[in-house]
Structure formats: structure tokens, C-alpha cells
Amino acid sequence: MKSKHDLTITDIRVIVSSPGRNFVTLKIVTKCGLYGVGDATVNGREQAVAAYLKEHVTPCLIGRNAHEIEDIWQYLYKGVYWRKGPINMAAIAAVDVALWDIKGKAADLPVYELLGGKSRKAIATYAHATGSTIDDTLDKAEALFAQGFTAVRLQTAVPGLKASYGVLGDKKDYFEQQSSRPLPPEEPWSTRKYMNSIEDLFRQARSRFGTEVQLLHDVHSRLTPIEAARLGKMLEPYDLLFLEDAVAAENQDSYRIIRDHTTTPLAIGEIYNTIWDCKELIQNQWIDYIRTATTHAGGITALRRIADFAALFHVRIAPHGAPDLSPICYAAQAHLGIWAPNFGIQEFVGFGSDKSNEVFSYDLTLTEGMIHVGDSPGLGVDFNEEAAAQYPYNRSYLPVSRLEDGTLWSW
Ligand code: EZ4
Ligand code: CO
């Protein structure tokens, strides 16, 4: 096909900035002036992706036709021999998302139209309520319900532990942004203390909010399969939308054990890089929601394939939406989410901070807990390089976790 635009790739820029938190952003520029942007942020490993992109990926793409998304995806995946992996797949994702953005602009259509059009009016989201006590968590949840959210993830500090996942305490920034020693920061874990306290959170939530609202919870991969099975059974009366990351599933059949024991719906996938990481989970129907993110699992091209495969097995997509995913990732997932027939729900923690809003713009709006996707061509996102230059990279690590006796545990 002869395009009316010359989409020969002439320049690719990799920008690492920290407008409130670190982001790795890719900008692909074509001969006719159309450009696209992609997100390559791997939290705590930002410079590794940036170096991989600059040294090994972008030089191969100069001179290529930006329309050839599929061939470029295959070239960077199959063509590279060293397949998969978080750094590689984030780099592929950034290229892929930027190319979809360009294709949409060249066609003068939003990306969701290129995927097949809208399957729904807007995208359902769930927000986070994380507190230092049950009352604190539930007060925050109540405020979110008052804003119009109908689904909220509940997390509470584990009593008797000095720090817990996601609980900020007096820290102003997101939990991994800190300069304390040792690096990375450390958090304690006790499965017994957690299991003894978690049911109360959901019991109180249901008695305070009733049965209309949807509740979720992220275990953050701290349990063994049989412990997770017990937790799933324990939480059945409180009717969770899903229980997230109950177990780290390097062994995908760990989920068979959980599934055998409980009807609590299960979700996993935020750290997965490819469809291969979740193939058995999906085809065996051991999970209900697949949480792969465009940025970490190979972009729109890859997530579309995961979504179509998952649909065959009644698995819905519920992409990761933490603050380390940039507004570009949110936009890509919003376009996927408004299209995918088997879209479930989008994790949502806000479109960004005041600082990140100086750097990123996007054509998404939130009303009553639903994301509406605008009809700008491409992904409707932009990245202001001058504004980003004011916020240099700031080294930061995710915490590590240890049992109370010092044993290293999954964070
Ligand atoms: O720990 O994004 O569901 N959300 C999460 C996140 C992840 C971070 C890691 O970078 O589990 O809070
Ligand atoms: Co999670």
C-alpha cells in the first residue's frame, strides 16, 4: 500500500526522566514529521532498558517503514535470539506502542479503531485504598466510593510488622522513592501475622459497605500455593472481584492447587513478559483475569494476542496500572480495553502527579470511576521533552522483603 505519509523512521530518542518518579520514554520520529511515543519503564531498572534501547534496538530501526509494526515486532523478538525477559520486552513494547501511535496518526484514527472499534462506552476501573489500620483503609475506600468508584483494592498494614506493602506511612513519595541505606530498602514479612489479620479487613469492609461494591486484594506473591488456597477459602464469604498475585507462578501449575480449593477468582500477570508466561494458566482455566501490562509484555501487538487467546478460556484482561506505568502505557491500555471483547477491569491510581502532568498529556478522562477514551488520532498522548529535562533521573529501588528471622522472601 502506498501511504500518503513518508513514514521512514529518521530519529529515535530515549528519554529517562523523573517527574515525581522515574519514566523511560521512547520517541520515534518519521520523515514526514509524524512521531509516536512509547513507555519502556521497568521500575528500578530504568537505565538498563534505556541502554538496551539506545545501543541495541534503535540503530536497527533507522530507515525502516514505521507502518511495518508486525515485522518490526517479530524482528525484535524472534530475530534477536535472546528472547523474552523484562528488559528486552519493555524495549519491544515501547517501540510497538510508538509505532501504533504513528499508524493511528497517519490514518487519522484513534488506535482503538484500528484494533476493531469500541466494544463499550468506557472502561471500568478499580482504585486503591491502602491504610495503616483497617479503619484508615476503609475511610479511604469510603472516599473513593463517594467519588464514584465502584471497585476498590483494599490493603492494610499487617499488625506487628514495621512496614507493609504499599503503606506509605509518613513517606511523601511512592514507596520505592527513597535514599535510605541499605539500598534497596527492606520490609519484614510474616505469613502467620498476615493470615491472622486479613479476614477482619474484608469482614469489616462488607459490614460497612454492603454487597453492591466490588472489593479486591493484592497478596503480592507472599504465599505458598496451599496457603493461598486457604486464603481464597477464608475470603470466599466476602466475594472478591479477584485475589491478585496469591503466589509467584514461575510454576504455572501452582495455580491448580489454589483452584482446586476455592471459588475466589484469581488474577496474575503484572510481571509477565510474554504469552508463554501465562499460557498454561489461561488454557487450563486456573485464573480469571490476566494482568499483563503493555509496557512489560511487548506492547499492543502482544497484549492483543494475549487478550484473544484468553477469551477462548473465559479469562478477561485486567492490566496492571500502578504509578510506575506512564500515562503512555495507560493510554495504550485504554485503547486495548475499550476494544477487547474480554476486557475485565483496569487498575487505576490516577493519571499522574502535578509534575508528571507537566510532561505527559493524554486524551483520557475519568468520570464516575470509568475511563473515557478520546478520539484523538493515534493514542492521543504526548511527551514534552523540554519539561522532562527539568526532572533528571533519580536512582530508586523497589524494596526487598525478609522474614522476621532474616530469610529473604518475595517482595
Ligand atoms: O508492586 O508496580 O498491583 N500493583 C502492584 C504494584 C507493583 C509495582 C512494582 O513496580 O503490585 O504496586
Ligand atoms: Co500487584
CATH number at residue 144: 3.20.20.120
Which protein residue's CA is at the shortest distance from atom 6 of ligand 1? Answer: 322
Predicted pLDDT at 171: 57
C-alpha 289 – ligand 2 centre gap (Å): 12
Give Dmax (Cα) for the chain: 66
What's the rounded mean pLDDT across residues 396-410? Answer: 94
Q: Which residues pair with 408 in a beta bridge?
A: 402
Predicted pLDDT at 225: 98
Q: Which residues pair with 151 in a beta bridge?
A: 214
Q: Is 399 contained in some domain?
A: no
- 103 has pLDDT over 90: yes
Q: Is 359 contained in some domain?
A: yes
Pocket-testing residue among 242, 320, 349, ligand 1, by greatest number of atoms within 8 A of Cβ: 320
C-alpha 237 – ligand 2 centre gap (Å): 22
- 359 has pLDDT over 80: yes
Instruction: Identify whether 314 is a catalytic site residue.
Output: no
Instruction: Pull the grid cell for residue 301.
Output: 501487538
Instruction: Supply the range of the domain harboring residue 298.
Output: 115-377
Closest ligand 1 atom, CA of 166? 12
What confidence tier does 174 reach under pLDDT thresholds 50, 70, 90? low
Can you tell me whether residue 331 is helix, strand or coil? helix
Taking the C-alpha atoms of residue 329 and residue 248, their distance in angstroms, rounded to an integer, is 24
Which protein residue's CA is at the shortest distance from atom 8 of ligand 1? Answer: 322
Q: Would the CB of 277 count as within 6 Å of ligand 1?
A: no
Q: How many CB atoms lie within 10 A of CB 260?
A: 10
Q: Is 189 contained in some domain?
A: yes
Which protein residue's CA is at the shortest distance from atom 2 of ligand 1? Answer: 322
pLDDT in tens, 182-223: 788 889 999 999 999 999 999 999 999 999 999 999 999 999
Instruction: Pull the grid cell for residue 160.
Output: 506487628
Predicted pLDDT at 336: 98
C-alpha 109 – ligand 1 centre gap (Å): 32
Closest ligand 1 atom, CA of 325? 2
H-assigned helices in 148-267? 191-209, 225-235, 254-261
- 391 has pLDDT over 60: yes
Q: Is 190 contained in some domain?
A: yes
Closest ligand 1 atom, CA of 291? 3
pLDDT in tens, 39-79: 999 999 999 999 999 999 999 999 999 999 999 999 999 99
C-alpha 291 – ligand 1 centre gap (Å): 11
**8 A C-beta contact, residue 189 and residue 403:** yes
Q: Is 122 contained in some domain?
A: yes
Q: Is 287 contained in some domain?
A: yes
Taking the C-alpha atoms of residue 148 and residue 145, their distance in angstroms, rounded to an integer, is 5
End-to-end Cα distance, the chain: 49
C-alpha 102 – ligand 2 centre gap (Å): 31
Predicted pLDDT at 332: 98
Which helix H or strand E contains 248, and what residues bound it? none
Q: How many CB atoms lie within 10 A of CB 99?
A: 29
H-assigned helices in 57-110? 58-61, 69-77, 86-107
Predicted pLDDT at 2: 62
Residue type for position 312 = L
Predicted pLDDT at 85: 97
Q: Would the CB of 400 count as within 6 Å of ligand 1?
A: no
What's the rounded mean pLDDT across residues 275-291? Answer: 98
Within 8 A by CB and 6+ apart from 365, the residues are: 371, 372, 374
Of residues 83, 124, 115, 98, the one with CA closest to residue 30? 98
Q: Would the CB of 187 count as within 6 Å of ligand 1?
A: no
pLDDT in tens, 9-38: 999 999 999 999 999 999 999 999 999 999
Which protein residue's CA is at the shortest distance from atom 4 of ligand 1? Answer: 322
Q: Into how many domains does the chain fold?
A: 1
What's the rounded mean pLDDT across residues 220-227? Answer: 98
What's the rounded mean pLDDT across residues 302-316? Answer: 98
Residue of 128, 217, 220, 335 with catalytic role: 220
Pocket-testing residue among 164, 296, 324, 396, ligand 1, by greatest number of atoms within 8 A of Cβ: 324
Q: Would the CB of 311 count as within 6 Å of ligand 1?
A: no
Average pLDDT of the residues of the chain:
96
Q: Would the CB of 324 count as within 6 Å of ligand 1?
A: yes
Taking the C-alpha atoms of residue 188 and residue 178, their distance in angstroms, rounded to an integer, is 17
DSSP string computed for 225-243: HHHHHHHHHHHGGG--SEE
Q: Is 341 contained in some domain?
A: yes
Predicted pLDDT at 339: 98
Taking the C-alpha atoms of residue 383 and residue 328, their distance in angstroms, rounded to an integer, is 9
Q: Is 7 contained in some domain?
A: no
C-alpha 322 – ligand 1 centre gap (Å): 6
